[in-house]
Amino acid sequence: SATSTHQAGPHQGAPGDIVAPMQAIVVALAVSEGDQVEEGQLVAVLEAMKMEKPLLAPRAGTVTSLSIKQGDTVTAGTRIAHIATDKEAQ
């Protein structure tokens, strides 16, 4: 299967960014681009060393960029998604 590896970008840690905490495989995506999410809502699940790590929305808003797909391998610091607040989305 064609899985791609994403390298960390320069924009890690921006407000609303969801960033991979470690190298892992994306085993599940719970949202799509354009979805409305609540703070604490599940966005994606990563797996590393047989342990699953849920990634949660840091704030309520709209998923404006989803940088990965299921099956991708991500490195620590890779941006998974961005959650824009209603103010930002306008």
Please give the model's pTM, rounded to 2 decimal places: 0.80
How confident is the model at residue 1, as a pLDDT? 44
Residues whose CB is less than 8 angstroms from the CB of residue 14 and which lie 6 or more positions away in sequence, other chains included: 82
Look at domain 5-89 and name its CATH class: mainly beta
Q: For 14-68, what is each residue's pLDDT tens digit?
A: 889 999 999 999 999 999 999 999 999 999 999 999 999 999 999 999 999 998 9
How confident is the model at residue 12, as a pLDDT? 47
Which is nearest to 75 in space by CA: 15, 16, 4?
A: 4
How confident is the model at residue 6, as a pLDDT? 55
Q: Where are the domains of the chain?
A: 5-89
How confident is the model at residue 5, as a pLDDT? 56
